[in-house]
Amino acid sequence: MSTASREKERDVISRVARAVAFAAALAGLALAAAGCQAWFDPFLDVPEWKTVRYGDEDPASPIKGVTRMTPVQECEYSHYVRAMSGGLVVAREVRGDWIYYAVTRRQFVQLPPDAEGQQPRVVQAVVVERCKAKQPPVPPPVPPYEMPERPPSGTVPTVDKKQREKVLKNIERNLPTP
């Protein structure tokens, strides 16, 4: 292969590599613009989709392989309210219409015996369950109560003359004299 053809091949490869990198950058921008950025934003310093297990950082852990942190699960808002009222929520983050929260639970793990004839040990592991719940829409404020207007009455009450004179005389009688 001649030097000119090698140069041409390198040029084509570099152009293809640049085009792929540019396409990947455009795809990332499109995902961010489409609102998919939350999928990549870490909650509790771990991406939303990832499961963390004991033994990931310390391979010598006796309980390696046991789930330590779950991926984020979508839950009902009522689950979040029950967890909050029960005091179970250990971390909470609001992102737009979503509430991200974490609840801990204990899991019992049986370890194999160290030596022959020894009983297996049971260890308690803490599992962090990560969830997200969509906030319900806020209802519009209730308008203040307004008294309805009284409908106009079509009739005027009639008072007979004798009753009217009697009432006026009672009023005059009760007025103080000068």
Q: Measuring CA to CA, which residue among 3, 135, 161 is closest to residue 74? A: 135
- How does DSSP assign 13-73, residue by residue? HHHHHHHHHHHHHHHHHHHHHTTTHHHHS-BTTB-TT--EETTSS-TT-TTTTSEEEPPPE
pLDDT 10s digits, 54-86:
888 888 888 888 889 999 999 999 999 999 999
Q: Measuring CA to CA, which residue among 129, 126, 106 is closest to residue 44? A: 129
Mean pLDDT across the stretch 20-39?
53
Q: What is the model's pLDDT at position 7? A: 76
Q: What is the model's pLDDT at position 63? A: 84
Residue 82 to residue 87: CA distance in whole angstroms: 9
Look at residue 35 and tell me whether its pLDDT is greater than 70: no
Q: What is the model's pLDDT at position 77? A: 95
User: Parallel, antiparallel, or unpaired: how do β-strands 89-95 and 73-75 relate?
Assistant: unpaired
Look at residue 41 and tell me whether its pLDDT is greater than 80: no
Look at residue 132 and tell me whether its pLDDT is greater than 80: yes
Q: What is the model's pLDDT at position 88? A: 92
Mean pLDDT across the stretch 125-134?
94
What does R_g of the chain's alpha carbons equal in angstroms?
Answer: 39
Look at residue 104 and tell me whether its pLDDT is greater than 60: yes
pTM score over 0.75: no
